[in-house]
Structure 1
Amino acid sequence: MKARSDELQVFVSVIESGSISAAAEQVGQTPSAISRTLSRLEAKLDTTLINRTTRRMDLTEEGKFFLEKAKQILAQMDDLEERLAIRQQSPAGRLRINAASPFMLHAVVPYIAEFRTLYPDIHLELNSNDLIIDLLEQSTDVAIRIGTLADSTLHARSLGSSPLNILASPAYLKKHGTPTSVEALAEHALLGFTQTETLNHWPLRHAQGDRLEIDPSVSASSGETLRQLALAGEGIVCLSHFMTHEDIRLKRLQVILPEANSGYRQPINAVYYRNSQLALRIQCFLDFIQKKLARYAS
């Protein structure tokens, strides 16, 4: 068995205060409890630290050596606790964030300058991946995931949600016409995803329900690729508002069939492998991004 920090503290207190009774008063224990702790510590170390008589206590050579090292260990622990307390008051350290490329580009990158101004001691490491990653394997502190979560081993915090819009560029609509019904989409070039089948279920009300499964004319694994294709006039796309709100505002993309939209909103969650209170640097980032998302959540 290894010595515990509380046992080290008792040993140091006995030596510094000069007696077991004085040490007991100092640490808030009974003299008998102090004596038992010393005996237990010596048994663990398999050595005698203090020669005790009714009149005095003398450190053995092993006790002198152990006292010096115990003081160093306790001082290091105090310093560590103090440093952690300071970090909790002022967020600092490396923060590794993972998100799909569209979210990183449109909902994180535009606000990095502001975040760094607010928290200059947080060193960001931004990683993009359009596939689900293993947080531990990738040494990631927090990942932003869009859509319904399936991994029950993760702890999650909701950052809000974002509506899906059916979109096309003015150039595409001018050339091919604007569909006036859900059924009319069958006559158009539709842009969809290659890997996540549910992303090709558009939130459109029709005779068979409120989700329309499409057969894409062009497929891509990344939402950003589909956005670029739509901007280039290659077809009609269904994308989240968080990545297209500027395109809509600047009229680079136009919302179509709004009256048929069922109103489905994609959940946005931060996920992490922690059951205890989040480190302050993570908490600050999530609070910051959540406020930014709220600006264009509708």
Structure 2
Amino acid sequence: MKSTIEELHAFVTIVDSCSIVMAAERLGQTTSGVSRALQRLENKLNVTLLERTTRKLKLTQEGQLFLEKSRKILNDLAEAEDALLKSDIDTFGLIRVDSATPFVLHVIVPLIQEFMQQYPNIEIELNNHDQVIDLLEHKTDVAIRFGELHDSSLHAKLLCRSRLYIVASPAYLEQNGVPQSPEDLSQHALLGFSQPTHLNTWPIQFNGDDFIAQPKIKASNGETVRQLAIQGVGITCLSRFLIEDDLQAGRLKALFEDKIHLHYQKIHAVYYRQEHLPKRVRLFIEFLAEKLAVYL
């Protein structure tokens, strides 16, 4: 009896998830059902594809060889199915997107209606994590990452670059004065991030090095820091995409514009390495890249 597509899919998903339980969650099936699919596949092939212990799964030599062939079969099938779609507007399916809350609120949400009008059969699930997540573990199709990338298992598409600004509200500056030099910042209330801490490095020189803020109030979410700044609680450093409207509306004022060294934060769309990217995911990434190209 020949292997089925469902069994190949189960096998590849187990390997990618490093867990039968996680694979079952990704596939929307029971753990026992996925386990049985793997057993059927191994019985048909008369080989052990995965060595199972109570703590981990490990590909056998035969399993590694079969994995490469299985991926190609599944990728070719997905590519063939996409090719049969009459046009982009016919593309359907769910895209799970993950990003830090501020980028979702200030960039993705304002663009969603236009994307849905162009591709009415695609569904979107927006998830918010302010820290880096494992795409496979969280069943994520595409994530937005900030700064330099270090995960070689991911493909990346540069969407835009966003400048950093040091800002405060007019009310705060009126009450506490406008700092004229980095040294003056020690006399002010600073707002920053609990993690990642590198976001507390500001693009202005202090004693020959980049200024590292010691925030009086910290938050893990950039939107929280933004709201604190608007309410006049202190001075902070935030990315353009987050505060551009606030600067234009006068809710925040940029400081040290004559001293700041321009630092542009790279923003990428990342997705798990695979030979054939699902068309719905490719269309979403291309849409974002087109809309944000003005900031490259």
What TM-score does the superposition give when structure 2 sets the normalisation length?
0.70
d(CA) in 2 for partners of 1:198, 1:81:
41
Q: Which residue of 2 aligns with 1:283?
A: 282
Between 169-178 and 274-283, the greater mean CA deviation after superposition:
274-283
Q: Which residue of 2 aligns with 1:134?
A: 134
Cα displacement (A) at 1:80: 8.4
d(CA) in 2 for partners of 1:271, 1:244:
24
Tell whether the 8 Å contact from 1:94 to 1:124 is kept in structure 2 after alignment: yes
Q: Which residue of 1 aligns with 2:255?
A: 256
d(CA) in 2 for partners of 1:165, 1:248:
10
Deviation per CA, 1:50-91, whole angstroms, max 9, x where unpaired?
A: xxxxxxxxxxxxxxxxxxxxxxxxxxxxx9887432348323
Q: Which residue identity lines up with residue 92 of structure 2 in the other structure?
A: A
Q: Which runs of 5+ in 2 are unaligned?
A: 6-43, 45-76
Alpha-carbon spacing, 1:124–1:206, altered in 2? closer, same or farther (3 Å):
same
d(CA) in 2 for partners of 1:164, 1:81:
40
Q: Which residue of 2 aligns with 1:150?
A: 150
Deviation per CA, 1:170-223, whole angstroms, max 9, x where unpaired?
A: 1111111111111111111110100212111101123322x1111101000111
d(CA) in 2 for partners of 1:156, 1:80:
21
d(CA) in 2 for partners of 1:93, 1:158:
24
Q: Which runs of 5+ in 1 are unaligned?
A: 6-43, 45-78
Q: Which residue of 1 aligns with 2:240?
A: 241
Secondary structure of 1:260's aligned partner: coil
Cα displacement (A) at 1:264: 1.1
Q: Which residue of 1 aligns with 2:266?
A: 267
Q: Which residue of 2 aligns with 1:212?
A: 211
Q: Superposition RMSD on alpha carbons, in Å?
A: 2.4
Cα displacement (A) at 1:152: 2.0
d(CA) in 2 for partners of 1:137, 1:207:
43
Secondary structure of 2:251's aligned partner: coil
Q: Which residue of 1 aligns with 2:185?
A: 185
Q: Which residue identity lines up with residue 218 of structure 1 in the other structure?
A: I
From the CA coordinates, give the structure whose radius of gyration is larger: 1
Q: Which residue of 2 aligns with 1:119?
A: 119
d(CA) in 1 for partners of 2:240, 2:92:
32
2:87 aligns with one of 82, 86, 89 = 89
d(CA) in 2 for partners of 1:208, 1:88:
60
Deviation per CA, 1:78-117, whole angstroms, max 9, x where unpaired?
A: x988743234832321111000001000010011111111
Say whether residues 1:108 and 2:108 are aligned partners: yes
Tell whether the 8 Å contact from 1:146 to 1:268 is kept in structure 2 after alignment: yes
Cα displacement (A) at 1:3: 7.9
d(CA) in 2 for partners of 1:138, 1:3:
28
Secondary structure of 2:236's aligned partner: strand
Between 182-191 and 80-89, the greater mean CA deviation after superposition:
80-89
Secondary structure of 1:258's aligned partner: coil
Deviation per CA, 1:26-53, whole angstroms, max 9, x where unpaired?
A: xxxxxxxxxxxxxxxxxx9xxxxxxxxx
Alpha-carbon spacing, 1:181–1:128, altered in 2? closer, same or farther (3 Å):
same
Deviation per CA, 1:137-159, whole angstroms, max 9, x where unpaired?
A: 11110000111112222221111
Q: Which residue identity lines up with residue 232 of structure 1 in the other structure?
A: Q
Tell whether the 8 Å contact from 2:169 to 2:251 is kept in structure 1 after alignment: yes
Quick one: percent identity of the two aligned structures? 46
What TM-score does the superposition give when structure 1 sets the normalisation length?
0.70
Alpha-carbon spacing, 1:181–1:88, altered in 2? closer, same or farther (3 Å):
farther
Q: Which residue of 2 aligns with 1:229?
A: 228
Tell whether the 8 Å contact from 2:153 to 2:273 is kept in structure 1 after alignment: no
d(CA) in 2 for partners of 1:4, 1:180:
70
